[in-house]
């Protein structure tokens, strides 16, 4: 649905102001290539944080603690 709205919006832009539509069509792949290292960095940072969380919660898991999904978090 998101792609359909994007394609429809681009077609409307092409009908009313075609030079800008062609510029957008050429700029999107370049911007995607520029953003790619930041996306990869974000995935790596997320993986490191997940590893740290798993390491920090390991003692509690070994002692048998299981987080319940339905109960609210206890307040301190």
The model carries a pTM of 0.56
Residue 67 inside a domain? The answer is no
Contact 57, 49 (CB under 8 A): no
CA distance 39 to 49: 15
Residue 73 inside a domain? The answer is no
CA distance 5 to 12: 11
Query: Domain range holding 20?
Result: 2-62
Total number of domains constituting the chain: 1
Residue 74 inside a domain? The answer is no
Residue 31 inside a domain? The answer is yes
pLDDT at 1 (0 to 100): 86
pLDDT at 65 (0 to 100): 76
Mean per-residue pLDDT pooled into runs of 10, the chain (76 residues): 90 90 90 95 97 92 76 60
Taking 3-state DSSP, the helix, strand and coil percentages for the chain, each rounded to the nearest 5, stand at 80, 0, 20
CA distance 14 to 74: 55
């Amino acid at each position: 649905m998101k792609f359909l709205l994007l394609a429809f919006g681009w077609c409307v832009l092409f009908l009313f102001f075609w030079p800008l539509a062609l510029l957008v069509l050429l700029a999107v792949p370049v911007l995607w290539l520029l953003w790619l290292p930041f996306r990869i960095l974000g995935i790596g940072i997320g993986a490191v944080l997940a590893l740290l969380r798993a390491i920090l919660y390991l003692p509690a898991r070994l002692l048998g603690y299981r987080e319940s999904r339905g109960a609210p978090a206890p307040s301190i």
